[in-house]
Amino acid sequence: MTELHWDFGSAYDFFISLFVIHHPDRFGLRGAWAAGVRSRFSPEDRVFIEDTIGFLPVPLSWVNRLSVSDKSTGAVLQLLSAIPPEKRLISLFNSSQLDKKVINTFERIQSEKKITAEYLEILRSIYQRRAIPIKLRDVQKLAEAFLEPAQFGENILNVFQSYHQAFFAEEEERILPVLRKGLQFAQKLSKKTPLPDLLEQLSHGVKLENTDIYQKVILVPSYWSSPLVFLNNPQADELLVVFGCRNETQNLVPGEYVPESLVTGLKALAEPTRLRILHYLNQGTTTPSSLARRLRLRAPTVIHHLNILRLAGLVQVTLTSNGERRYSLRQEAIDDTFTQLTTVIKTDTN
């Protein structure tokens, strides 16, 4: 039987936020605002993190593995500083992704001080489950990090600490009350909701075909991941789900009046191809390849549109046990979009 566990800490959002400000379009965040946050880095740190973010995993499994109760950002960065610099980078990877061949490749790059095409191909295998394929340039940057792992370890810690001081320490105070409420809500919901339905509701439309294959499911509330979800496998029989707990009236950008979810929803609907996709999904659950045939479009184009609809919460995705993704319409989300629109238009902001 699957055991349900909970974890909590702002460090999860610290690492997620760093990822989000470098990929604002994937999360419906205004690019100009994200660029403003990135400008708080020194020029040297900005170049370093932009070179690193392409291959650095969001280290959620690492945070989860920490055997401490305090997973605030400051406490977690202190733990990272206690790791020898040359081992910091490899520590941040999910250990289940690093087989002996990969670890041996890291060691050979470090000892031989050279990078070969064979080594790059082995390192590329780390990212084989990525929804968006990794670029060869980013694999090259990963390999270069292991040419001088101690120096990289010092640099990454310094960048994390600078980001915390320049931006996230203040953000942490803003989002902690929401995280606590999100945890309480999810725990209360879990007492009356079967696990598959619980995951679907907390993830805003991600349905797992079979949760019984996991011995352990760990749930973690997050502000910055909303409305999406991060899924990790700390171990082969474990599932880590970092779910967005920010509601539709709360924005990543402080002080914004119009809900981000409304803007994202309207943008998703204001495109003919996506309206056609919703029309077909209204007829039943289907796959991207099937939609591509009906729309006479390339599959990557259809997946791009589906990702935008998923960001807006307008579609549900079912992850099958063989890795296939099946999409269906979330009619209640479409209805909510127009309800929000009516509310915003009629609200007196004076």
Q: What pLDDT does residue 350 have?
A: 56
Is there a single domain that holds both residue 57 and residue 154?
yes
The answer to whether residue 252 sits within a structural domain is no
Q: What is the total count of domains within the chain?
A: 3
C-alpha angle 15/21/23, rounded to 5°? Answer: 100
Looking at residue 287, which CATH number applies to its domain? Answer: 1.10.10.10
Q: What pLDDT does residue 103 have?
A: 94
Is there a single domain that holds both residue 56 and residue 162?
yes
Is there a single domain that holds both residue 99 and residue 190?
no
Domain's final residue, options 244, 269, 298? 244
Q: What pLDDT does residue 169 have?
A: 97
- Do 250 and 71 form a contact (C-beta atoms < 8 A)? no
The answer to whether residue 3 sits within a structural domain is no
Structural domain boundaries enclosing 159: 10-172
Domain's final residue, options 198, 219, 244? 244
- Do 190 and 302 form a contact (C-beta atoms < 8 A)? no
The answer to whether residue 158 sits within a structural domain is yes
Q: What pLDDT does residue 191 have?
A: 96
C-alpha angle 161/162/165, rounded to 5°? Answer: 85
Is there a single domain that holds both residue 152 and residue 39?
yes
236 secondary structure, DSSP code: T
> 3-state class of 225 per DSSP?
coil
d(CA 152, CA 87): 10
| Phi and psi torsions of 145, nearest 5° | -60, -30
Is there a single domain that holds both residue 168 and residue 310?
no
Q: What is the mean pLDDT of each run of 10 residues along the chain (350 residues)?
A: 95 98 91 95 96 95 95 98 96 88 95 96 90 91 96 98 97 96 97 95 90 94 93 91 89 76 90 96 94 94 94 91 87 88 75
Is there a single domain that holds both residue 294 and residue 162?
no
Q: What pLDDT does residue 132 have?
A: 80
Is there a single domain that holds both residue 162 and residue 203?
no
Long-range CB contact pairs, 108-115, < 8 A, 24+: 109/143, 109/146, 109/147, 110/146, 110/147, 110/149, 113/147, 115/140, 115/143, 115/144, 115/147
| Residue whose C-alpha is closest to residue 168's, from 296, 297, 2, 16 | 16
Is there a single domain that holds both residue 198 and residue 314?
no
